[in-house]
Amino acid sequence: MITEAKADGFRAILFARPGLVMLQSRQGSDLTSAFPDIAAAATRLGEDLVLDGELVVPHEGRLHFGELQRRAHRRGPSAVRAAAERPAYLIVFDVLQTGTTELLTRPYRERRAVLEGLFAREALTAPFTLCPSTANRATALDWLDPAWGAAGIEGVVVKGASQLYLPGRRAWIKVRARVTSEAVIGAVAGSLTSPLTLLLGRYDHSGALQLVARTTPLNTTARRDLAQQLTPAGSQHPWIGRHFNSGWGTHTELEYRPVRPDLVAEFIADTAVDAGRYRHPVRFVRLREDLAPDDLPPFGAGEPTSGG
């Protein structure tokens, strides 16, 4: 088995062929015009290549997912300016074709050797960079240290050395780094007698309660126990009238019921945090009856900072 460091970015396939350069997202969207810096570098390669990798934008000492998202929505002169201000990189972890030779049916170890050779002879240079890879278990475990989340490494991807490239199939194992943290229960989705998920918050320096995360669906035991301790919110609750989306990147409004923000929940999350908010749902662990909301760090403090 071979383990690669998983950067916090967009999966993208780059087609660099004579007369054709295209940067394609995992969903098949054409990102070429949004990243003219990558497209220009691909034009200069001088080799017929198809590369698979992670598109990233470094900023403030880390791989910054928020800046990457902003760049992905730019086109035309705006995209050119953004490329000059926030250059992108493609962290390459696979090569699918060189010249007229298709490599999809070659074992991963062979494709990796070809890829390393491209970097060794400097056929690929910045803004292309080789994805870190290891067969050493200790190194792989080190990449799962949440401290790497501050640099934008959200975990690892495990691949079989003999594995073929299987388009459209989940053939690799992704393992995210995990952290434990606490936040105030500010609202629930569902009812107070049977909460489905929790909306968690932290107070910022001005005293406003800011949304931090939404939990995954609660199990039956947690629903029952929480129903006995949640209290309906009064008219002064800070989230009265607020609108939250049902998920990251969606525009569907979430229906929720505010509760009195006096209970602290412990949760487990990955290290993908944007502007102080966890990008993916977190898992509720337990109530922290030994902690009060005032005992928690302010919003944005003490959390991984992989973006935002």
Q: Are 178 and 268 in contact (CB under 8 A)?
A: yes
Taking 80 as the threshold, does the pLDDT of residue 293 lie above it? yes
DSSP 121-142: TTSS-TTEEEPPEES-HHHHHH
| Domain spans of the chain, in order of start | 8-131, 178-295
Confidence of residue 249 (pLDDT cuts 50, 70, 90): low
Write down the pLDDT at residue 306. 40
36-69 pLDDT per residue, tens: 999 999 999 988 999 999 999 999 888 988 899 8
Q: Are 196 and 218 in contact (CB under 8 A)?
A: yes
Q: Are 32 and 21 in contact (CB under 8 A)?
A: yes
Q: Are 268 and 285 in contact (CB under 8 A)?
A: yes
* Per-residue CA distances from 236 to 240, 241, 260, 296 (Å): 7, 11, 10, 21
- In the three-class reduction of DSSP (H, G, I as helix; E, B as strand; rest coil), residue 38 is classed as helix
- For 197-224, letters b (16+ CB in 10 Å) and e give bbbbbbbeeeeebbbbbbbeebeeebbe
Numbers of helices and strands, H then E, in the chain: 6, 20
Write down the pLDDT at residue 289. 86
Write down the pLDDT at residue 248. 58
What is the rounded distance in angstroms from the CA atom of residue 96 to the CA atom of residue 98? 7
Write down the pLDDT at residue 135. 92
- Which CATH number does 178-295 carry? 2.40.50.140
Nearest one of 116, 13, 29, 97 to 21, comparing CA atoms = 13
Confidence of residue 308 (pLDDT cuts 50, 70, 90): very low
Fold of 8-131: D-amino Acid Aminotransferase; Chain A, domain 1 (3.30.470)
**Cis peptide upstream of residue 127 (ω within 30 degrees of 0):** yes
Taking 70 as the threshold, does the pLDDT of residue 114 lie above it? yes
Write down the pLDDT at residue 250. 60
> Tokens standing for 226?
């929480």
